[in-house]
Amino acid sequence: MAETRAIPPHCEDPSLVISYPAHRGGRMHFSGVSSICFRPYMKHLVSGGADGNVLMWGLQSCHESRRQIRRPYCLQGHKAPVCSVAVSPLDTVVASGSKDKTVRLWIPRVYAKSTVIKGHSGTVRSIAFNPSGEYLLSASDDKCMKVWDVETEKFAFALLGHLNWVRSAEFNNDGRSIVSGSDDRTIRLWDVESRQCIHQYIDILGMVRSARFHPEGKCIASCGTDECIQIWDTRSKRLVQHYAADTGTVNTVSFHPSGDYLLSTCDDGGLRLWDLREGQLLYMLKGHEGSTNCAEFCKSGDFFASGSADEQVMNFKT
């Protein structure tokens, strides 16, 4: 198991390791990057783009010069922009969700063929595996979340209740709960066994773009069009921290594996790292030239990557 490294206090700013440049045509995104994640064993960085492609960037080239960057593996099949990508915990399956209303399951190799899962009547905004990798969760503009059996590729069950597009959904680390965020300005907490909503967080002023579990499940971070980040306690069900970004819609949030830090992306192109223990902004990074749409830590916490409307994928060392 990879060791989780906490970010030391008063350390130097996170440093850019490599920027995978935009390249119109060929095998790189040419319409913006919408989603990003690391493969568990740090072999590749996976990104989904508005061009409809899923790309796998080799991380072995991170310390090489830009001239030596290898072209990414390109997984093609979606008929519309890719909104979300995820990799199974055992690194056996790459999943993608798209505006073409489908989910695709890929075996991560060059020119991989995909299995198409159809079940939503709207854009698939978010996908996530449960901790064992047995199930895949999808969330859609059809206001519905669906859970799929990965091995059989069959529908398992649905979660209904949101009144508008569901932008974000994921399992917690014990697989017993699901959190979802929606344009209906609510965050909902679901029990997997009973398949019921067990709580709604409703004191939210904007549409929710992202809702994520703390690694230990003790709180939820959310963000959205109200230009702020909120931390909700899953036990008391109360708001415990509030951070004002004041720079436009906050698109995504991602916890550091230690749970002590939170990474956020914003329409202003900035990447912000928040210290949750001290309750303050730790770093603000400005590398992208367009809206920063996504960012994610690797499993160890040593690196994080970001993707932007400027068609760039950037990899940083913490």
Can you give the CATH number for the domain in which 205 is found?
2.130.10.10
Would you give the distance in Å from CA 290 to the centre of its chain?
18
Residue 6 lies in a domain: no
Residue pLDDT, tens place only, 207-220: 999 999 999 999 99
Distance CA 37, CA 96 (A): 11
pTM, to two decimals: 0.91
Residue 8 lies in a domain: no
Residue 296 lies in a domain: yes
At 60 the three-state DSSP class reads helix
Residue 235 lies in a domain: yes
Domain count, the chain: 1
Residue pLDDT, tens place only, 37-83: 999 887 889 999 999 999 998 886 555 544 456 778 889 999 999 99
Distance CA 147, CA 159 (A): 8
The parent domain of residue 121 ranges over 15-317
Residue 225 lies in a domain: yes
Residue 93 lies in a domain: yes
Task: Give the chain's mean pLDDT.
Answer: 89
Distance CA 50, CA 272 (A): 24
Residue 9 lies in a domain: no
